[in-house]
Amino acid sequence: MILELDITKLLVVFDRRYSLSEFRTASQVVPGSYADELVERIHNCLFKYPRDILAEYEKYYAVEYSDFAEFLYWKYRVDRDIAQKITARISDGVFIGYCRNSIWMLTDETVTAVLKRILSDLGEKGNESSD
C-alpha cells in the first residue's frame, strides 16, 4: 500500500522491507541498463530512504499514544479507518515507512506499471496504491 499523505509525503506499507537484490531479480531487467537504474530508484524511494515508523513509534512514541493507529492518525494524519487496517497488519511483520520528496516518481505511469508488476512477482499481498 502506498498512501500519498500530501504533495510531498508518502506512507508505504509492505509485507516486509525488500532488498535491492530481491527487487532487481523480480524486475527481470538487464543489469546496468537504464531500466535497472529506474528499478533501483524505485526501490530506494520505497525501501531505502523511508523511516521505519513502526520502530520509531515503539522507541519514542508508545508512551504518548494509546496505540499505533492513534499515532498514525495524530502524527501523520492518516485516516482512522486506514490507520486501523495498517495496525491490524503489524503482527504480520509489515514494513511501514514514511518518506518525503519521492512522490514525483510514483506519478509516472511507466513507474507505476513496473512497480505493480515487481510487487506482484514478489508476492506482495497489499500492493495497491491509494490517494
What are the domain boundaries of the chain?
2-62+90-130
- Counting residues of the chain whose pLDDT is more than 70, the rounded percentage is 91
Q: Is the pLDDT of residue 47 over 50?
A: yes
What per-residue confidence (pLDDT) applies to 96?
92
pLDDT bracket for residue 21 (50, 70, 90):
very high
- Model confidence, pTM: 0.79
Mean pLDDT of the chain: 86
Q: What is the grid cell recorded at 96?
A: 511501514
DSSP 3-state assignment of 96?
strand
Average pLDDT over residues 71-88: 94
Distance, C-alpha 21 to centroid of its chain: 17
- Amino acid code (one letter) for 58: E
Q: Is the pLDDT of residue 55 over 90?
A: yes
Q: Quote the DSSP letter at residue 9.
A: E
Q: What is the rounded distance in angstroms from the CA atom of residue 51 to the CA atom of residue 53?
A: 6
pLDDT bracket for residue 102 (50, 70, 90):
low
